[in-house]
Structure 1
Amino acid sequence: MNIFYTGAFRYPNLDAAGKRVQTIVTCLSPEHNITIGGWEKNNNNNEPNHISFDILDRRNKNSLLRIINFITKGLKIIPYIIRNKHKYDCYILYNPPYLFSHVMYLFCMCTKKKLVLDNTEWYESEHLIGGRYGLAAIENRLRMKYIYKKIKNKIVISNFLYNFYNEHENTIIVPPLSYTTEIKKKPHTELNLIYAGSPGKKDKVNSIIDIILNLSTDNKNKIKLHLVGFTLGDFLKSHVSYNEKKLLFIEHVIFYGRLPMHDVYKLYEKMDYLIFFRENKRYAVAGFPSKFVEALSFSLPIISNSIGDIKDYLPKVGIIYNPGENDPNELIKTALMCKNKFDKDIDQLFHSHFSIDANKCKLLNFIENIK
């Protein structure tokens, strides 16, 4: 089958969305011809079946143009799709905007083409620009509750989304996937924790800092926290109250700012745990943190609260810690004692649930049965 895979991602690995598409393409490409239409700027990766459409990273100072671009995002691809309709039998759309989804739905109805949705998130309305009643929140509700439900074939990332679409037979769960990584041993005696990402309103980085602030002096001296994706200045700008506390934690925290992914992976090899926390809200239970799977691919256990689908895997591959409820000193004691005890369970879980090989047949069978 000839497939065109497009949507709000930066291919091949410029963001978590691009990495997801890359791994799904790896699963499908042995039996199908796939063209990737990324929404990133042209990144010159020289892949013959990859087209960059330069949609996501455009910035407009004019507020009216920003609104128009938001509503019409993705529509610039439609002329390409119409011109090349003879090339493709199926279209896979990754988290597409509402209007683009609707146009593609009508196009596929008229041309008798197959349409697949790859859905990995359901935004929290208050996290979007304009808040609960803003244009972005309205668009979010329309896409999730109306047009996405019309698409018969779905790849979803979580049990929450699977249950939301439960009236549709041809829906499968595909979590974030990753490639097997060669693991290096970590001989150090101190405890190295890492958070890597762009926290925004999703990850509660201040809860990680609070662990440091509430440790005994002895335990503080046993730990080093590595924060990747933002600087100290970025953190203090979004968490103003921590300005007066920074002298209490800065000695034990390294802020790296933004790093290329290959540098983040080098850091993973030296770490003992990945740490992150999320609120028990829809965005967290509807999604699945790709950093969880990346950590497992490096045999890196996780410290997190038990939210969404990851509750099915903790504490087998890490430690459950609920900020504000559990004792941070007990956390550090347990983490030091157990940091080399998770390797076998991590290896088994990664290869049975989150590897390419574990999901290839499921995805190929799904594509064979699309309606």
Structure 2
Amino acid sequence: MNITIVLNEAYPIGMAATNRIHLYAKRFKECGHNVEIIVPRPTERHHTIPKNHEIKGEYEGIPFKYPLSPVRNNSFIKRRINDFLSFFKTTGYIFRKKRNTDVLLIVDNRWYMIFTCKIFSLFYKCKFVLEISEFPFVFYDNNFFNNIYRSLYIKNIFRLFDGLIVISDSLFSYFEDKINKNAKQIIIPILTNTHNFQPSANNSGEIVYTGALNQFKDGIMDLLQGYVTFNKKTPGKKLVLMGDLNVSPDKDEVIAFIDKNNMREKIEITGYVDRSVMIRRMSDAAVLALAKPSNRQAEHCFPTKIAEYLSTGKPVLTTTTGSIPQFLTNRKDSYLTEPNNPDELANTLSDIFSDYDQAKIVGKNGRELAQNEFDYNKQVDKIITFFNELLNKKN
């Protein structure tokens, strides 16, 4: 099978979506299928050291290509021009070089990219599949023009696909009446490569969070408030926030809160760190935490970081949002708290540290859950079967 992936995210170094699609491609390759990842726009910010600087190459055996430079220009006008050029270079490359594609998998919500890829799929008779892990337009402002665009998009765009890969039952249900009658869906939950997270006897005593330091997505302010309350009862445990605060919409609020509560010495914000460093610090942590709040985004998503947290074998503290309680069991394989409740989070942290021997058992059970439910081998094999069903299906 020849699989072409259009990924509108940084690659090979990126956030959750990048890691998820990489595990797709890795398993496709391991199973003998040809795969290439194409990134259809520059992704690296011009004012930082680029994490991805190669126009093309291989990462863990997966070939990838940026049709234009990975680094965004420092000029607003030139960035728009480069986005325009990158779109045409991407489509030109696909039409010239990927004619033998059996499945075109797109992770991109731009209507013009989707429409162009649909034309390619019709012309070369390949299956066109969308991977979507977020509720559509959940981050859009609610205004007149956005509402019109959202309505037209939802009514028309999702009917262009032969198949959808979604991350949760709620997304599956949402799309049931928005795809064409011949299309198929498959639910693929969060993924992890458990081999990358070997259990460690080390214990730094740290409470570790990894991610975007964003309140709307990850409840970063709830985590900070819960930690401050916990620290008053149980001092001496550092909170480590592994992420780039400079790209967070809540940067000023986070800094102000830390300063107001005199927490500069007790809360470490690492900034961007290499993935190997991140994995080591996660594996050495005492607790891995995510205070995801209750909102529409959380209702329909399933945070990938949960699978990676569980893979470490360390105790995981998170909230009962979205698909999390569907898979995780409180005080058996994780610690679950009510969302938007920093006081309960603080009390649960106290419970973990007051009986850490029991917490270690919970952490061990969590790793077993990750191996049984979220390891990429098992889940991506379902996608391969799904693709074969699409290819064998008569329209």
What TM-score, normalized to structure 2? 0.80
2:14 matched to 1:14?
A: yes
C-alpha deviations, 1:240-277, integer Å up to 9, x for none?
Answer: 75265231x33321221221211111101211222122
User: CA–CA distance in 2 between the matches of 1:25 and 1:140?
Assistant: 30
8 A contact 2:190–2:307 mirrored in 1:
yes
C-alpha deviations, 1:86-111, integer Å up to 9, x for none?
Answer: 33222111134111111212332233
Aligned to 1:335: 352
Once the two structures are superposed, the pairs formed by residues 97-136 of structure 1 within 5 Å of their partners are 97-122=110-135, 125=138, 127-128=139-140, 131-133=141-143
Q: CA deviation at 1:354?
A: 0.8
Which runs of no fewer than 5 residues in structure 1 stay unpaired? none
Correspondent of 2:218 among 193, 197, 203: 203
Q: CA deviation at 1:306?
A: 0.7
2:372 matched to 1:352?
A: yes
- Give aligned pairs, total: 363
Q: Which AA in structure 1 matches 2:133?
A: T
Identify which range, 336-345 or 70-79, moves more after superposition: 70-79
Q: CA deviation at 1:289?
A: 1.2
2:321 matched to 1:320?
A: no
Aligned to 2:157: 147
Which runs of no fewer than 5 residues in structure 2 stay unpaired? 44-51
User: CA–CA distance in 2 between the matches of 1:68 and 1:164?
Assistant: 36
- Aligned-partner SS, 2:352: helix
Correspondent of 1:161 among 158, 171, 188: 171
- Aligned-partner SS, 1:238: helix
2:38 matched to 1:37?
A: yes
User: CA–CA distance in 2 between the matches of 1:300 and 1:136?
Assistant: 43
Once the two structures are superposed, the pairs formed by residues 174-185 of structure 1 within 5 Å of their partners are 174-180=188-194, 181-185=197-201
User: CA–CA distance in 1 between the matches of 2:96 and 2:246?
Assistant: 49
What TM-score, normalized to structure 1? 0.85
* Identity within the alignment, %: 20
User: CA–CA distance in 2 between the matches of 1:55 and 1:148?
Assistant: 30
8 A contact 2:226–2:342 mirrored in 1:
no
Instruction: From the superposition, tell whether residues 55 and 207 of structure 1 become closer, same or farther in structure 2 (CA, over 3 Å).
Output: farther
Q: Which AA in structure 1 matches 2:23?
A: T
- Aligned-partner SS, 1:80: helix
8 A contact 2:223–2:342 mirrored in 1:
no
8 A contact 2:310–2:363 mirrored in 1:
no
Once the two structures are superposed, the pairs formed by residues 1-371 of structure 1 within 5 Å of their partners are 1-29=1-29, 30-39=31-40, 40=43, 42-43=53-54, 45-46=57-58, 49-54=63-68, 58-59=72-73, 61-62=75-76, 74-122=87-135, 125=138, 127-128=139-140, 131-133=141-143, 142-167=152-177, 170-180=184-194, 181-187=197-203, 190=205, 192-200=206-214, 201-215=216-230, 217-221=232-236, 223-230=237-244, 237-239=252-254, 242=257, 245-247=260-262, 249-312=263-326, 313-315=328-330, 316-322=332-338, 323-324=340-341, 326-336=343-353, 337=355, 338-370=358-390, 371=393
Identify which range, 67-76 or 201-210, moves more after superposition: 67-76
8 A contact 1:6–1:93 mirrored in 2:
yes
8 A contact 2:211–2:242 mirrored in 1:
yes
Q: Which AA in structure 2 matches 1:34?
A: V
Instruction: From the superposition, tell whether residues 273 and 36 of structure 1 become closer, same or farther in structure 2 (CA, over 3 Å).
Output: same
- Aligned-partner SS, 1:17: helix
Q: CA deviation at 1:122?
A: 2.4
Instruction: From the superposition, tell whether residues 145 and 196 of structure 1 become closer, same or farther in structure 2 (CA, over 3 Å).
Output: farther
> Once superposed, what is the RMSD of the aligned Cα atoms?
3.1
- Aligned-partner SS, 2:190: coil
User: CA–CA distance in 1 between the matches of 2:63 and 2:241?
Assistant: 36
User: CA–CA distance in 1 between the matches of 2:3 and 2:34?
Assistant: 6
Instruction: From the superposition, tell whether residues 175 and 71 of structure 1 become closer, same or farther in structure 2 (CA, over 3 Å).
Output: farther
8 A contact 1:116–1:153 mirrored in 2:
yes
